[in-house]
Amino acid sequence: MELTERKKKILRAVVEEYINTAEPVGSKTVQQRAALDCSPATIRNELVALDKEGYLEQPHTSAGRVPTAKGYRLYVNELMRERRLSADETEAINEKLRGGSHEKLMADAGRMATELTSYPALTVSAAASPTVKRFDLIYLDPNSFIIVLLLTGDTVKNKLVHLPFSFTENTLRRLSAVFNASFTGLTEDKITSDMINSAERAVGDTMGLTSVIAGFVIETLTSSGGAGASVSGEANLLKLPEFQDPDKAHRLINYLSDPHNLSALTGTPDFGDVKVLIGPENAALELRDSSVVLASYDAGDGMRGLIGVVGPTRMDYSAVAAKLSYIAGGLSRLLVAGSAPPAGFGKLMIKGGHDDV
Amino acid sequence: MELTERKKKILRAVVEEYINTAEPVGSKTVQQRAALDCSPATIRNELVALDKEGYLEQPHTSAGRVPTAKGYRLYVNELMRERRLSADETEAINEKLRGGSHEKLMADAGRMATELTSYPALTVSAAASPTVKRFDLIYLDPNSFIIVLLLTGDTVKNKLVHLPFSFTENTLRRLSAVFNASFTGLTEDKITSDMINSAERAVGDTMGLTSVIAGFVIETLTSSGGAGASVSGEANLLKLPEFQDPDKAHRLINYLSDPHNLSALTGTPDFGDVKVLIGPENAALELRDSSVVLASYDAGDGMRGLIGVVGPTRMDYSAVAAKLSYIAGGLSRLLVAGSAPPAGFGKLMIKGGHDDV
DNA sequence: CTTTAGCACTCCTTAACTTCGAGTGCTAAG
DNA sequence: CTTAGCACTCGAAGTTAAGGAGTGCTAAAG
């Protein structure tokens, strides 16, 4: 059943007022805020109706109204006015987001999101099963070499290997050729022991070099798969009135500090650009009385990432959504185009003294 | 002036009791705990003396005593009994700390420290101005290549570069040779524009490739220099009675979340194995009523690292010190020997299905 | 049928006051 | 120097009272 125009206005007023003050909203305040030409008594009648329909609730009899999850949901879906970013804001974002590796960009974007919303920000780089695009072994000395893997998404991974026995540069070259031939383009689950054994035979490797390298490949593919989740700005929660109880804050911060939990958020379906999960809509118990706003971005090469914030259900959804959306857009642009010349190109400067990072 | 034996016993009893309970300690409790054969009244007299000498203080008249920073200091320097780790504890640490890159080890060690002490842990990899040991360029296609730097400390850094114009594999080979010849073994501040210009001339590079590469070298050296500080387990603070005030907790967590602040701790002088900074002994205002315990480890190649925890001044210093010291020792062993065969060597296993990280 | 003024009522918040008890400092005797 | 005894202090916790914002209901007016 569709709400009347007036009820919508009232609901919007309650939500927006509550977002600002974190205090239950009374009929008189609504009247002022919504600029309706009817008396508080009339509004009270409407409030009772909204209450019955489940959009609002009272912390206790004789207190003002507070939006329920259902109320916020309606607000987000229909009532919220689109928020435009100010020039200052977009500029600040553009300023901060200037290339670098995917990891660095994610970290910068997270900090940015925290700064702009003053809520903890989380970043997750989604698990589009990566494969190795290219494979190199750099010979250092008879006992050590570096493995360099170029993955889809243009991520480069490396590892320095020391071994207790020696080998020749030539062996490495052969290994490199074999791996490039047979291990590129495969997701982790496609790599079998048979393949490794036959590679071993092909090189004539009797020392187990092949398995060391294959081990690193597998480790890298699995870890870059589910990986890349982090949070920043958790401390901001403590300033919010809803987290004055240290125990409550502790539970949430603790939950957020486990990357495993963050990755789980990737699972939630993605409708369009920005996704809003309000209170009990969250699967995780720890998030049940908080809200999560997520924006996804394209990281190129079929990879997706997520940037979002966690805050109280009382959250300025439209502002947060706008900011995250803009940041996500920026990330997509930087990562998917990718071919922007690296910073410092052509205008290299050498710093005189030593200065801070 | 040296304290009498009895006063020392009493001070120790007060400190240890306060560490356990976080409540001011009264004369009666001391009597029981220190197993002294004198009456509470006698102990009261002694407490007054210790109070006058600045080792103890009262939150208010007619409350028990609480150690001052001076009291803790004496306790740590002279009164504390050495704490041995249990077999379970050493085993847990050995279990968790098993190779990997320096970064991964640091992260593991930090998590370990948090887990064992239930205080936030911090890790700092100290800034022994790194240099490039070796230099490689991997040609991918006419517009892109990978830079691979092997730094002192056996850290490997890389970057994928896309350029808007093309170059040949041969050019890269020449560049690589020039950089290996002239940029290895130099700290960041030794690299001048002149050097870059002459390198450019030596290769006959007219496209600015040289400066792109030099830019990455400089960026890497500066960032690996001051870098590598992180915290884990901040949320644990919230469980402590001294951080029930969200504001207080917020200030500290916020302070810790800036890596810059952590790096500053490296500056403090290092006496021996473990370093204890009690309350006001800390330079930073935000740490003035907390304590920091730091253990340093040798990361090989002249690099040092720090692992530590932050907690209330009321902290079980001997247990914390023992744990950190053991972890630091483990890190040194793993990093300085370095040549342990990589995990999975010889006994490579392929996992059947897909499982979580 | 909707709107509105009036009014009794609910229930949270705050502050002031009480009680309770752990712990003290002091005194005087052992 | 030690110790028992005792009055005193002061925070913690509980109780009560006042204040006030906001409600729901009723009844009259539009």
Does residue B347 sit in helix, strand or coil? Answer: coil
Burial per residue of A213-244, b for 16 or more beta-carbon CB atoms within 10 angstroms, e otherwise: bbbbbbbbbbebbbbbbbbbbbbbbbebeebe
Is A150 within 8 Å of B148 when comparing Cβ atoms?
no
Size of interface A-B (CB pairs under 8 A): 170
The partner residue sitting opposite B346, judged by closest CB among A211, A227, A350, is: A211
Q: Please classify residue B304 by burial: count the beta carbons closer than 10 Å to its beta carbon, then call 0-12 exposed, 13-18 middle and 19+ buried.
A: middle
CA–C1' gap, A220 and D27, in angstroms: 77
Q: Mean pLDDT across the stretch A253-273? A: 80
State the Cα–Cα distance between residues B144 and A192, nearest whole angstrom: 31
Domains of chain A: 5-79 (1.10.10.10), 87-127+228-337 (3.30.450.40), 132-226 (3.30.390)
Give all strands of the β-sheet with B121-125 in edge-to-edge order: B229-232, B121-125, B304-312, B290-298, B274-278
pLDDT at residue A295, rounded to an integer: 94
Q: Kindly state the tokens that stand for B329.
A: 């020792």
More confident site: A154 or A309: A309
Nucleotides of C under 7 A from a protein CB: 3-6, 9-12, 21-27
The answer to whether B235 and A250 are in contact (CB under 8 A) is: yes
State the Cα–Cα distance between residues A308 and B355, nearest whole angstrom: 26
Instruction: Quick: pLDDT tens for B55-110.
Output: 999 999 889 999 999 999 999 999 999 999 999 999 999 998 887 777 888 999 99
Q: How many helices (H) and strands (E) does chain B have?
A: 12, 10
A65 touches strand D (CB under 7 A): yes
Q: Mean pLDDT across the stretch A280-297? A: 94
Q: Mean pLDDT across the stretch B184-191? A: 84
pLDDT at A337 over 70: no
> How does the average pLDDT of chain A come out, rounded?
86
Q: Kindly state the tokens that stand for B30.
A: 């001391």
Question: Taking the mean position of all CA atoms in its chain, how far away is CA A60?
Answer: 37
| Other residues' Cβ atoms within 10 Å of the Cβ of residue A14 | 29
The partner residue sitting opposite A246, judged by closest CB among B101, B246, B343, is: B246
Taking the stretch 5-24 of protein chain A, residues with Cβ within 7 Å of any atom in nucleic acid chain D are 24
CB-based contact, B271 to chain A, within 8 Å: no
Instruction: Quick: pLDDT tens for A187-213.
Output: 878 888 888 888 888 888 777 888 888
Residues 118-147 of A with CB under 8 A from B: 134, 136, 138, 140, 143, 146
Q: Closest Cα partner for B55 from B18, B28, B82, B83?
A: B18
Give the nucleotide at minimum CA-to-C1' distance from B37.
D2
State the Cα–Cα distance between residues B270 and A16, nearest whole angstrom: 54
Task: Provide the terminal-to-terminal Cα distance of chain A, rounded to the nearest Å.
Answer: 58
pLDDT at residue B337, rounded to an integer: 64
| Other residues' Cβ atoms within 10 Å of the Cβ of residue B133 | 18
The partner residue sitting opposite B140, judged by closest CB among A134, A188, A246, is: A134
The answer to whether A119 and A321 are in contact (CB under 8 A) is: no
Report the chain A residue with the minimal C-alpha distance to residue B255. Answer: A235
CB-based contact, A158 to chain B, within 8 Å: yes
CA distances from B303 to B59, B131, B226 (A): 44, 11, 12
Full-model pTM: 0.84
Is A357 within 8 Å of B226 when comparing Cβ atoms?
yes
Q: Between A193-203 and A169-182, two packed helices, what is the crossing angle to 10 degrees?
A: 140
- Binned at pLDDT 50, 70 and 90, residue A352 comes out as very low
Q: Mean pLDDT across the stretch B272-300? A: 91
State the Cα–Cα distance between residues B300 and B287, nearest whole angstrom: 30
pLDDT at residue A320, rounded to an integer: 97
State the Cα–Cα distance between residues B11 and B179, nearest whole angstrom: 62
pLDDT at A338 over 60: no
B37 touches strand D (CB under 7 A): yes
The answer to whether A291 and A277 are in contact (CB under 8 A) is: yes
Instruction: Quick: pLDDT tens for A208-239.
Output: 888 888 888 888 887 766 557 899 999 999 99
Out of A283-297, A332-346, B175-189, pick the least confident: A332-346
Instruction: Quick: pLDDT tens for B311-337.
Output: 999 999 999 999 999 999 999 988 876
State the Cα–Cα distance between residues B149 and B133, nearest whole angstrom: 8
In chain A, % of residues over pLDDT 70:
90
- Binned at pLDDT 50, 70 and 90, residue B128 comes out as low
Question: Any idea of the CA torsion for B268, B274, B275, B278, to the nearest 10 degrees?
Answer: 160
Residue-level length of chain B: 357
What residue spans of A75-134 are helical by DSSP H? 87-96, 102-117
pLDDT at residue B45, rounded to an integer: 96
pLDDT at A354 over 50: no
Q: Mean pLDDT across the stretch B31-48? A: 93
pLDDT at A128 over 70: no
Give the nucleotide at minimum CA-to-C1' distance from B27.
C23
More confident site: A331 or B189: A331
Instruction: Quick: pLDDT tens for A165-179.
Output: 889 999 889 889 989
CB-based contact, A164 to chain B, within 8 Å: yes
